[in-house]
Amino acid sequence: MTSPASVVFDHIFYAYTPGRWVVQDICLEVQPGEIVVLVGPSGCGKSTLLRLVAGLLIPTQGRLLLDGINTSTLAPEKRLVGWVPQSYALFEHLNVRDNVAFGLRMRRVAKEAMSRRISEMLELCRIAELADRPVTQLSGGQRQRVAIARALAVSPRVLLLDEPLAALDPQLRAAIRADLQVLLRASGVTTLFVTHDQEEALAIADRVAVLQAGQVEQFGTPQQIWQSPANSFVAQFFGGATVLTARRIGPGRVRLAPGLEADVPLHCDDQVVQVAVRSGDLELLPEVSPSTEAGQFIPMTVEFAGDAFRITGELIGAGRVTLLHNRPVIPGQRYPVRAKPGHILSTVGQCPYCNQARDPSQSG
């Protein structure tokens, strides 16, 4: 059994055509056994990073290290990397057992050891009862587990997952996500997981790398990404936050708008603070007593969202925000609004614990 490897992207650049960078100046360090999710919009370069680790692409500039070894001259088959593409790439003419066995046979593993390893992977991925079934008769979730079992069977030091849940419907996706997290942690393998789904990233990762336009905007734990986004892009990408400029009025307290104050986890003494306001942070009040401090909100659009109404409107003195309310409101009418009691709003660009990449406003 091989041990999980560390992965280091040391100022990695890659261009398919000269001068047009797909990824640029990527600096990430993945610890052995860590699950790191690469997340970002389509075309941000996250799948390119997987291909670089797999050896399908070679960096144009920079170094890619596996356990401290520069991979620039290391052939793909020497890297001990497992790959699960978005399509799963199962062999349709083989059954589940033979799919899982494929890599072991290619490596000429002894028959007894191969049989034992196949059984271990079938049990780990909870597909033992499907061993003799043709893969053409499997559901999407079952096919995914077969693909992961095949990748893990060869004892990779790094596992690469390229949007493994993308082909599943939303309900199945949520159920499979929980199983996948348990499976990855049980395997102990270093994992790089690509997705564009923010909820998926937060649920599965030990740490998250947020990419935009080929660059890392922030690298940190899910809690750091959510509570202290590095910049407005990260705040908007995770939870659809609106970034407002607030003024500090005391320790951990800011004024968002006239009459509207909120608690924040301030990490510095700045008097002017950028605050990420998400739909669950504010609430409309049915009525306000003379002693109650409240801001003023004018609804513009009202959307039914199942258990609540999603309302977008103007927070007087601050800007446009979206909030949730348990009943419809009248567009154009003023409503009192406050920060939900007990809610601590996220601050932008003030996380002292995680890597904060460039500010998009400074890019040229």
What is the full per-residue pLDDT of the chain (364 aa) written as tens digits? 579 999 999 999 999 998 899 999 999 999 999 999 999 999 999 999 999 999 999 999 999 999 999 998 899 988 989 999 888 899 999 999 999 999 999 999 999 999 999 999 999 888 999 999 999 999 888 998 899 999 999 999 999 999 888 877 777 777 778 888 888 898 899 999 999 999 999 999 999 999 999 999 999 999 999 999 999 999 999 989 999 999 999 988 999 999 999 999 866 667 899 999 999 999 999 776 555 679 999 999 999 999 999 999 999 999 999 999 999 999 999 999 999 998 999 999 876 555 544 443 343 3
Global pTM exceeds 0.75: yes
Kindly state whether residue 154 falls inside one of the protein's structural domains.
yes
Does residue 220 share a domain with residue 253? Answer: no
Q: Last residue of a domain, which of 209, 227, 245?
A: 227
What's the domain range around 40?
Answer: 7-227
Does residue 59 share a domain with residue 25? Answer: yes
Specify the number of domains making up the chain. Answer: 2
Kindly state whether residue 362 falls inside one of the protein's structural domains.
no
Q: Last residue of a domain, which of 174, 203, 227?
A: 227
Does residue 287 share a domain with residue 220? Answer: no
Q: Last residue of a domain, which of 227, 250, 284?
A: 227
Does residue 200 share a domain with residue 186? Answer: yes
Kindly state whether residue 99 falls inside one of the protein's structural domains.
yes
Kindly state whether residue 364 falls inside one of the protein's structural domains.
no
Does residue 168 share a domain with residue 62? Answer: yes
Does residue 167 share a domain with residue 253? Answer: no
Does residue 62 share a domain with residue 14? Answer: yes
| Residue in the block written with tokens 């004024």 | 255
Does residue 74 share a domain with residue 196? Answer: yes
135-142: long-range contacts, CB 8 A cutoff, minimum separation 24? 135/90, 135/91, 135/92, 135/94, 135/95, 135/96, 135/99, 136/92, 138/96, 139/172, 140/167, 140/168, 140/169, 140/172, 141/168, 141/172, 141/175, 141/176, 141/179
Determine the pLDDT at residue 207: 98
Does residue 248 share a domain with residue 130? Answer: no
Cα separation, 91 vs 87, in Å, equals 11
Does residue 297 share a domain with residue 191? Answer: no
Kindly state whether residue 195 falls inside one of the protein's structural domains.
yes
